[in-house]
């Protein structure tokens, strides 16, 4: 029986059969079961922030699991306490953190937190993606995701992403929160005007609603700053939200999510309101601390900005790329009319590059933050031939 047959016989058909069986990785490189090497420009969907088998993550997990891997939240341990304070320090704000296991769980906790305001109305944006649990799914406008599971919880209004006037019309004094991503990753890296988040802050403040930023894909250095809402290339001025959700790159491949509440919002959840057995255990939080330490010690924020600019300049030199969006190492590429992004993904994989097509004419790049200049330059050099192989006319 082939691995594809074993996969289909044993796993629920929620993803279809994947194209590759990967067996190992190092840095930004992975190898499949046949020994073929690829450069990973997706990083497990922005998860493997330090690439594969990074020594700092390996050492942190090994040391922690050999002493105290899990204790539940009936007891305390040092790593989650240290991580909470570290994240608040990076934000430069007072608050509290709830740790979970994933992005959708982080958003689920934030959704429950908004109910503690005494209001139930939430405003979200079209084309957003916040997760697949029933609560997080209730915030997602995409009918294909929602319809099979309706009715979903919540009183939710959707407005076009980046449209501050539409947002102002939707938010009222009965609105609990506005949830928005600084960049919409799953939509192909949609990017709003630089004053958008400041407008969101002004509108929510005026109506006494919470401003909730979903930084699950954009946080932890992905755009070249610790958080995307701190990035002057994306946002004008200083914006201080009430709630931030993180996951993906925070654990460098180890499952962890974080719901960060700032200011008065930090006291909304009380004992008995929410919980998790695995969330924030010593092993996962030790991994996250190692990720943050390494980003800082290796100067990866500047590196991400530099390599992202190299990719944008090199890839847009080909006229078949009509637009780029994003910052750092979260980039969306629009392809010229008639070019099928799925064929481009297949051509790239055949040539040894792993990329993603979240929309029919869009490519998403979210490589490890440790992607080398050599690998980035090699991808730029390979890009025209990849488009040629996909049948994209010059």
pLDDT tens-digit map of 85-127: 999 999 999 999 999 999 999 999 999 999 999 999 999 999 9
User: Is pLDDT above 70 for 393?
Assistant: no
Mean pLDDT to the nearest integer, 189-207:
98
pLDDT digits 0-9 by tens, 318-334:
999 999 999 999 999 99
Q: Is 151 exposed, middle or buried (0-12, 13-18, 19+ CB in 10 A)?
A: exposed
Question: Is 264 a residue whose pLDDT tops 90?
Answer: yes
Residue 391 confidence class, pLDDT cut points 50, 70, 90: confident
CATH topology of domain 57-297: 3.40.640
Question: Taking the domain 3-53+299-389, which CATH number applies?
Answer: 3.90.1150.10
Q: Return the active site residues.
A: 129, 214, 248
Q: What pLDDT, in 10s, does the model give residues 61-91?
A: 999 999 999 999 999 999 999 999 999 999 9
| Predicted confidence (pLDDT) at residue 298 exceeds the cutoff of 90 | yes
Which tokens is 40 given? 């990973």
Q: Is the pLDDT of residue 232 over 70?
A: yes
Output the pLDDT for position 262.
98
Domain(s) of CATH 3.90.1150.10: residues in the chain: 3-53+299-389
pLDDT digits 0-9 by tens, 368-388: 999 999 999 999 999 999 999
pLDDT value of position 143: 87
Mean pLDDT computed over every residue of the chain: 96
pLDDT above 70 for 131: yes
Residues of CATH 3.40.640.10 domain(s) within the chain?
57-297
């Amino acid at each position: 029986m082939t691995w594809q047959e074993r996969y289909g016989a044993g796993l629920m058909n929620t993803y279809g059969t994947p194209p590759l069986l990967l067996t190992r990785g190092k840095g930004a490189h992975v190898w499949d079961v046949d020994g073929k090497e690829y450069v990973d420009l997706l990083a497990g969907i922005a998860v493997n922030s330090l690439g594969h088998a990074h020594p700092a993550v390996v050492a942190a997990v090994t040391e922690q699991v050999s002493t105290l891997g899990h204790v539940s939240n009936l007891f305390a341990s040092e790593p989650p306490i240290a991580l909470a304070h570290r994240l608040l320090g990076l934000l430069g704000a007072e608050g509290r953190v709830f740790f979970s296991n994933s992005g959708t769980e982080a958003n689920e906790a934030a959704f429950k937190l908004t109910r503690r305001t005494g209001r139930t109305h939430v405003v979200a944006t079209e084309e957003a993606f916040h997760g697949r649990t029933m609560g997080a799914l209730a915030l997602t406008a995409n009918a294909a995701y929602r319809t099979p599971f309706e009715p979903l919880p919540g009183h939710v209004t959707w407005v076009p992403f980046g449209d501050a006037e539409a947002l102002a019309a939707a938010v009222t004094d009965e609105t609990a929160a506005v949830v928005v991503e600084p960049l919409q990753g799953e939509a192909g890296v949609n990017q709003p005007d630089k004053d958008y988040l400041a407008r969101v802050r002004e509108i929510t403040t005026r109506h006494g609603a919470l401003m909730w930023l979903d930084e699950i894909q954009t946080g932890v250095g992905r755009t070249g700053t610790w958080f995307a809402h701190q990035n002057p290339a994306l946002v004008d001025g200083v914006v201080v939200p009430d709630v931030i959700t993180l996951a993906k790159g925070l654990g460098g491949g180890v499952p962890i999510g974080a719901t960060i509440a700032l200011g008065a919002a930090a006291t909304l959840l009380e004992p008995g309101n929410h919980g998790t057995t695995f969330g924030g255990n010593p092993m996962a939080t030790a991994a996250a601390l190692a990720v943050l330490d390494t980003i800082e010690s290796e100067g990866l924020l500047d590196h991400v900005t530099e390599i992202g600019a190299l990719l944008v300049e090199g890839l847009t030199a080909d006229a078949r790329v009509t637009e780029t969006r994003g910052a750092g190492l979260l980039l969306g590429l629009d392809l010229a009319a008639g070019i099928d992004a799925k064929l481009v993904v297949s051509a790239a994989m055949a040539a040894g590059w792993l990329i993603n097509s979240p929309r029919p004419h869009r490519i998403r790049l979210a490589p490890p933050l440790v992607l080398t200049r050599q690998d980035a330059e090699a991808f730029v050099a390979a890009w025209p031939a990849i488009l040629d192989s996909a049948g994209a006319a010059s």
